[in-house]
Amino acid sequence: MPIIRVEMFKGRSRDQKRELVKEVTEAFVRTCGGTAKSLTVVITEVEKEDWGAAGELCCDLFPD
């Protein structure tokens, strides 16, 4: 059973996450085969202050 993990900043709506899961699932099945029922998508939301890039916290790199 394939598992796709998506890590992203908090702030997306439930509808956006629903659409993301749908689109990722369809793309995987189209390109890699299998069935939608065999695929799991896990979304992990992270605060910007808990994510770093280029030596800085993302809350500093990408302020709201």
Q: Which residues are catalytic?
A: 2
C-alpha to C-alpha distance for 28 and 35, rounded to whole angstroms: 9
Tokens representing 17 are: 């996450």
What angle (nearest 5°) sits at the alpha carbon of residue 1, between those of residues 9 and 44? Answer: 10
